[in-house]
Amino acid sequence: MADRTLDLGQLQALLERVRGVTVACVGDLMLDRYVYGEVSRISPEAPIPVLSTTRRTAMPGGVGNVARNVSALGGVARLGAVAGQDAAGDELAALIAAEPGIEDVVERRAGVATIVKTRFVASGQQLLRLDEEVSAVMGEESAAFTGASVYLLSDYAKGVVSDLLVGQALKAAQKSGAPVVVDPKGRDFARYGAVDVIKPNASELAAATGVPTDSDEQVEAALEALLRQTTARAIVVTRAGRGMTLMRRGEPARHFAGRAREVFDVSGAGDTVLAALGLALGAGATLETAIEFAILASGVVVGKAGTAVVTPAELIDAEMTQHAAGAHAKVMPLDELAHVVEGWKRQGLKVGFTNGCFDILHRGHVAYLAQARGWCDRLVVALNTDASVRRLKGEGRPINDLDSRAVVIGGLASVDRVTAFDDPTPLALIERLRPDVLIKGADYTREGVVGGDLVESWGGEVRLAQFEDGYSTTGTIARLKDEA
């Protein structure tokens, strides 16, 4: 899988950049209704459940849900679609008006029936979906394209995303320079022309190309086939829990891992992906960063019921949770760590080792560990236990307990694994792990590094890393006492 391109700091910066970005959301609009209730018996008239209604909700669906997600993430959605001059259309217009980040440029037409999808739900499960729909095409060029930073075409095969509309979008994009992203339907993706991105899911990609999409290799073959069939600049395929895969014309595929989340309801998840992808591109992000943004957003929304949206606060919380989980996963006892290190060595990776208290993490620690990681392929950090720190530093230390210190250190990208030791020196760990590089601070001499002779005896090396002047845990504690 591809390396991560969006960490917590980058996510926060991107959320600032997307705020206020205008996104043209054009496509098939529908009214999504949900009827919730309880099932306690089977009908005497037929072998079907009887739903006792407890509540009803409604929201804009289709491209309307794309617009809602754009708005929820801080952008401005200019919604272009078709709806009828009927009761459902009035209800839909009122719902859109209640969304502060959506500009309504929907065509209301007599003789057109507003598309309505009604889902009946009990105990979190859909029992039935009732669709009321008639295809309708858009009339004149949509006003949604005017002044937008990115054009999103949400095709649900209901008639709005016609060849004429696609041509209008491409013509407008040629003038403005705004990227065009299509969420496609059907099998003829060539009709979308030279758009910047086509975003099918795996089953849609397989149907359009006749190539299975069960493995990475099959997905790559299907993407190559689709690029041959179309003039699109890039294809991004969504693969549910497996993440997404990107292939640009003339470039190899890049795979992006999904985020592990409990899936409650996938309704509208594709709309969330389209919204996040487009919003990031409209803010000037790279396609790779936009994909990571979309993966995070879709991972949050599938944990919600119904046609849902995701907010910046939820994205930050999800990223922090994922970050903490990743940090915890790096912390392990010596026996487990030894097996991991053996595996690294079989792959020909150079293993580095350093140790310390790392009580209050500061800039000097971060720079030290980054330098250490630069001398190896994998870096192991061994932390003194709390009792060991007290023996070294005296009563009142450590400020942070071992679990806290381990998770904080594990959260650094420069650190690959974290373990602990209670002995006066880490010699037993060094003997067990047999690192290729032993790293200590430049306040040591080569001769004073415990385990240095051992490491060199099996062909390894000892390196001394520089500390940044003015940064130390002891100094930080002293300043805090002075300020108190």
Give me the count of residues in the chain.
Answer: 484
Are 350 and 434 in contact, with CB atoms under 8 Å apart? no
Q: Helix 202-209 and helix 216-229: axis angle, to 10°?
A: 60
Candidate list 271, 359, 416, 436, residue with the active-site label: 271
Backbone phi, psi, residue 303, to 5°: -85, 5
Residue 271 designated active-site: yes
**Which one, of 92, 63, 62, 95, lies nearest residue 80 by Cα?**
63
Question: What amino acid is encoded at 21 in this protein?
Answer: V
- Euclidean distance between CA atoms 64 and 30, whole angstroms: 7
Are 77 and 23 in contact, with CB atoms under 8 Å apart? yes
- Euclidean distance between CA atoms 402 and 386, whole angstroms: 6
CA angle 330, 331, 337 (to 5 degrees): 85
- Euclidean distance between CA atoms 423 and 389, whole angstroms: 11
Please, which residues have CB within 8 angstroms of residue 3's CB and are 6 or more apart in sequence? none
Q: What is the dihedral of CA 35, 39, 44, 47, to 10 degrees?
A: 90
Could you list the active site residues?
271
